[in-house]
Structure 1
Amino acid sequence: MIADREALLRRLHELRTEHRDLDTVIARLDSGPVDQLQLQRLKKRKLKLKDEIAWLDSQLLPDIIA
């Protein structure tokens, strides 16, 4: 159980790092002439990462029944 939680935390850290890196790349590409298809793919990847980050966050929170 603890190993699973540590694996989730490690994966979450990796995804957040990639998300930040993509944010930087997209900002740089957006400031000059760019291949719009490449930019669209990067933005789509960033959104996918955001969804995966949200899912992992929800898995790490304990279930609280009110």
Structure 2
Amino acid sequence: MSTFPWGDAMGFGLGVLRLAPRDFWTMTPRELASAWSALLGERPGPLGRQELEALMAQFPDGR
């Protein structure tokens, strides 16, 4: 198990996002990760079979 990358997290939150220290320290790691993903344009992986089938059922092709 590795330790949390506090240096990277603080550098990103305080330096890149320019959050006030109070705002940075009230964020959850999940919120910080979401901001990181949004800024870097990272997207989740491809849809799984169940997600695809749900979308196909919700938005069927017209025939």
- TM-score (norm: length of structure 1): 0.25
Q: Which has the larger radius of gyration?
A: 2
TM-score, normalized by length of structure 2?
0.26
Higher RCO by CA contacts (8 Å cutoff, separation 6 or greater): 1
Of Structure 1 and Structure 2, the greater helix share is in 1
